[in-house]
Amino acid sequence: MHVPDGFINAPTSAVTGVVAAGAIAVSLRGARRELDERTAPLAGLVAAFIFAVQMLNFPVAAGTSGHLLGGALAAILVGPFTGVLCVSVVLLMQGILFADGGLTALGVNITDMAIVTTVVAYALFRGLVKVLPRGRRTVTVASFVAALISVPAAAVAFTLMYWIGGTTDVSIGKVASAMIGVHVLIGIGEAVITALTVGAVIAVRPDLVYGARGLRQKLQLRVDGELVDAPDAEPTPAPVAARSHRKVWITGLVTSLVLAGFVSFYASANPDGLEKVATDKGIDKKAKEHASSDSPLADYGVSDITNARLSGGLAGVIGVGVTIVAGSAVFWGVRRRRADDTSPASTTVPGDLPPAAHSTKD
């Protein structure tokens, strides 16, 4: 659902740019509360994984394909604020390096694919885990439903932005029905990928899933014929090997590299949902050539390499590498800022002076 340049007019693109910038600023502050020693190293990996899976277009219907948006997955794994940042990093890398999604439409894409999907998915996810029985299965089921709904929600958001600032005169009713119809089907694929990924991480390291925190099912005992909650046992420190996230990080990185570098060659070549609707309904008449169309990695291929398999695979590997480096730099910076904010020096009581400031004279 990457919107190219020319679909949305300049004023609307500028407004969405301001919205996106504001949301990123808020997310940078909110991510300080979400990122800790467990999630900070994995947030960059989540961004790289989303980049890799977005290369895997899957067939939907009538010559249309779809791909993961990733907002639900990121929000559930590392938190909603960090999730917005994860998807934004992916969109920025795709727009600059791979000519995927217009640069003037970057605000539109971040608003639609990062903010809307993350907010809708996480709000629905939290609502479901509150009313469903506690347990790991609940997290997986809630992940499926939240991801499923987040995709048509993004389609609705795009339709609204097109209604406000579309550059072609097309019936908004036709655009809405086509966009929502095809993206409900794409949402099923999004839901399956999200639920499988969240379920896989929960199976090995439930403590690393942000959305699963505090959802441990209480042990119940039967007392005088009635079920009562057993008192919480004293927590026992996990062994160092169990607490380490290195194995999860390496497994995730290798998986991302394999998906982007090898499996992506077998992705569907059919246009995605937005491209199909744009062609069928004529909303792409004023689309503009991407400013980075001459990039060495444009269209997910390395220029001057004629072998399609090698070109696409190498581009995918480069994309994963660049995304994980850029994402890790952002999230480690946020994590360090949180550490600075909670350090003793930053919590000096007003009126107190640091030791060096006190006089040493008798």
Q: What is the CATH number of domain 10-217+260-336?
A: 1.10.1760.20
Q: Please report, for residues 100, 101, 158, 349, the alpha-carbon distance to residue 298 in angstroms, rounded to integers and kept in the order given.
A: 8, 11, 24, 54
Supply 221's token pair. Answer: 């005992």
C-alpha span between 18 and 22 (Å, rounded): 6
Which residues touch 166 (CB under 8 Å, ≥6 apart)?
7, 8, 9, 172, 175, 283
Confidence of residue 239 (pLDDT cuts 50, 70, 90): very low
Q: What is the signed CA dihedral for 38, 112, 143, 218, rounded to 10 degrees?
A: 60
Give per-residue pLDDT as tens, 50-108. 999 999 999 998 889 999 999 999 999 999 999 999 999 999 999 999 999 999 999 99
Confidence of residue 39 (pLDDT cuts 50, 70, 90): confident
Residue 277 pLDDT > 80: yes
Q: How many helices (H) and strands (E) does the chain have?
A: 12, 4
Closest CA to 115 of 72, 145, 152: 72
Among the listed ranges 41-55, 112-126, 221-235, which one has the minimum average pLDDT value?
221-235
Closest CA to 173 of 182, 184, 160: 160
Taken as a whole, the chain contains a residue count of 362
Residue 193 pLDDT > 70: yes
Task: State the burial class of residue 9 (Cβ atoms within 10 Å of its Cβ: 0-12, 13-18, 19+).
Answer: middle
- What value does the mean pLDDT take over residues 40-51? 93
Instruction: Return mean pLDDT, the chain.
Output: 87
Place of tokens 């795009």: 158
pLDDT at 262: 97
C-alpha span between 112 and 16 (Å, rounded): 9
Confidence of residue 1 (pLDDT cuts 50, 70, 90): confident
Total-model pTM: 0.87
pLDDT at 234: 45
| 205: amino acid identity, one letter | R
Confidence of residue 222 (pLDDT cuts 50, 70, 90): low
Supply 305's token pair. Answer: 């390499």
Give per-residue pLDDT as tens, 134-161. 888 999 999 999 999 999 999 999 999 9
